[in-house]
Amino acid sequence: MKLHREGKKPLFVALLILTALNVLLSFIGLHEYILSGLVLASIVLYGFMVYFFRDPNRYTNVEANQLICPADGKVVAIQEVEEAEFFNDKRIQVSIFMSPLNVHVNRYPIGGKVVYSKHHPGAFLVAWHPKSSTLNERTTVVVETANGEQVMHRQIAGAVARRIINYAQPKQVVKTGQESGFIRFGSRVDILLPLSAKVLVNIDDRPVGGETILAEL
């Protein structure tokens, strides 16, 4: 399993800090058992960071009218909402919550042309908070399919997440399942679909990003 490129710098910095800290502690006369415990804790912490930045291979196999889940996690909401940023009409919102243990690579739920991509600074409410979709730091991306259908997805920061990476560029042509971004450390992704879409996941489902079919247009 490979590491995601977004993890290279954080992992290098963390390795330097933890190594320097353990070397420093070894010179201040701590009891051997305490020092061993701290070294072990450092190894466990670093191991978790390596695990967090994992980037497993995913194989997207969908028909032209199907969307895949853009992230690993748990489906926490399927509801009709009034979307006021781009569409200004009613949409079906499917929300997937990612815990720090999930793969945090985000993917395009459907292929087409990026017609909108915007970053919004904001708060850091817990990602499952009802108002996190509009109050938290987030990115909004809209992709238009070859048939003229438009699908929005949002990366939403949570209480722990402090960095959202969005790769979408206006006019860029993307494929279903292609990488669209990354979020550190625990967060949520919302997908906003036309009301005519048929949602194929249920509340509490645990989809696999890039592989689980989310809906049909």
Cite the active site residues.
Answer: 187
Enumerate residues 6+ apart whose C-beta is below 8 A from 75.
94, 95, 96, 201, 202, 203, 204, 205, 206, 207
Print burial letters for 116-143: b (CB count within 10 Å at least 16), e (below 16): bbeebeeebbebeeeebbeebbbbbbbb
